[in-house]
Amino acid sequence: MAGILAWFWNERFWLPHNVTWADLKNTDEATFPQAEDLYLAFPLALGIFMIRLVFERFIAKPCALGLKIQANGPQKAQPNAILEKVFTSITKHPDEKRLEGLSKQLDWDVRTIQRWFRHRRNQEKPSTLTRFCESMWRFTFYLYIFTYGVRFLKKVRGGGRLPPRTPLTMDIHYYYIVELSFYLSLLFSQFTDIRRKDFLIMFLHHLVTISLITFSYVNNMARVGTLVICLHDAADVLMEAAKMANYAKCQRLCNVIFVMFALVFISSRLGVYPIWILNSTLFESWEIVGPFPSWWVFNVLLLLLLLLHSFWSYLIVRIACRAVSRGKVSKDDRSDIESSSDEEEGSPPTQKLHNSATNGTSGANGTNGYLSGPSCRDEH
């Protein structure tokens, strides 16, 4: 075990060639990041998850009810033993051949069966009340941690030392541990929260974020890490606020906040992030400390984060274009509630024409109003 730990914490991987772990030992004059500090994040992640449950139950839910947000979920499918057996035992997404067989067996048209399966899938989704409570929790956390980050980043100084010999302040230590704990809680709660179409992308985002926080803390690139975290939290606050407004059916407020969110997200994550932060970590740090193995890993993760930003920016622009044409923000590209148009897209043109004539109200149950972003990222 000692040999494995010595190999894992090899100085030549984690630190520049002229720095050793002995240089980063705590002294009476200065404190430096220690890898064991991060162990605190695991029990704290559990604590944050418990705080979330209490918050949603005793604060968010009463607020939602006060805004007249109902706990009713999507429209339920009418009871049918045959279709229920297929849904629970065989498939939740029957193909065309199975749909035709069920149509003959039940003497129902294919479109009615498709609608039944759509309603049955949506039946397992959470209500608008649940989604509002989740968004309110994230909004509250992001607002708190972003405010804290902005406040202490104004007074951060390097102490006259170049990284990775820059001393660690208590503010940065607290900021890192709380953020790491929060993303650990998101990583695990993602399997119990509302499942959306970008589940895997969000899971990758959480892994990248946790890895970046860990890497930047261990090799003492914490000053850059705090800037990255704070930059991401700025847009996340607006994203969750827009979702809350949408769930509360405050459409004008939702539209205004969504425009603000889109501007902040794109300008910060496709503007400030690559021009300021990536330029510093890729080029300026090369001149100051030179490249070393963990430096490469750290910057590859930052570039991967930029790719995720580009993908989410594309979704935001697409939603904005649809909003302009429809006059409001109403549909999320990663929505957890299916609409009838999801299935109509796969239907032949003649069937679409028939469906439009016989199912004119299908869109009423198809929108949950969830806005795209990093949490969307969720968030980052």
pLDDT band at 269 (very low <50, low <70, confident <90, very high): very high
186 in the same domain as 93: no
Q: How many domains does the chain have?
A: 2
Query: Can you list the alpha helix ranges (DSSP code H) found in the chain?
Result: 2-8, 11-14, 41-55, 61-66, 81-89, 96-106, 110-123, 128-153, 170-189, 199-218, 222-247, 251-267, 279, 285-288, 293-326, 340-344, 349-358
Residue 15 counted as domain residue: no
8 Å CB contact between 270 and 310? yes
117 in the same domain as 140: no
- Of the listed ranges 85-89, 172-176, 272-276, the least confidently predicted one is 85-89
Indicate the residue among 280, 299, 327 that finishes a domain: 327
Report whether pLDDT(359) > 50. no
**Cis ω on the peptide bond leading into residue 164 (within 30° of 0)?**
yes
What is the per-residue pLDDT for 45?
A: 96
Q: What is the pLDDT of residues 142-151, one digit of tens each?
A: 999 999 999 8
Indicate the residue among 293, 308, 327 that finishes a domain: 327
What is the per-residue pLDDT for 193?
A: 75
378 SS3 class: strand
8 Å CB contact between 33 and 164? no
Dihedral over Cα of 33, 39, 41, 43: its sign: negative
Q: What is the pLDDT of residues 287-305, one digit of tens each?
A: 888 888 888 988 998 999 9
Residue 211 counted as domain residue: yes
pTM of the prediction?
Answer: 0.77
Domain with 115 in it: what CATH number? 1.10.10.60
What is the per-residue pLDDT for 163?
A: 60
183 in the same domain as 91: no
Residue 374 counted as domain residue: no
Residue 168 counted as domain residue: yes
What is the per-residue pLDDT for 17?
A: 82
Indicate the residue among 327, 346, 367 that finishes a domain: 327
270 in the same domain as 184: yes
Q: What is the pLDDT of residues 11-53, one digit of tens each?
A: 888 888 888 888 888 888 888 889 899 999 999 999 999 999 9
136 in the same domain as 120: no
8 Å CB contact between 71 and 131? no
264 in the same domain as 140: yes
322 in the same domain as 267: yes
260 in the same domain as 145: yes
236 in the same domain as 170: yes
255 in the same domain as 146: yes
| % pLDDT > 90, the chain | 41
8 Å CB contact between 239 and 265? yes
Helices 110-123, 96-106: inter-axial angle, 10-degree rounding: 110
114 in the same domain as 244: no
Residue 139 counted as domain residue: yes
Residue 109 counted as domain residue: yes
Residue 358 counted as domain residue: no
Domain range spanning residue 120? 81-124
Residue 333 counted as domain residue: no
Mean pLDDT of 195-201: 77
160 in the same domain as 108: no
- Give the C-alpha separation, 268 to 275, whole Å: 10
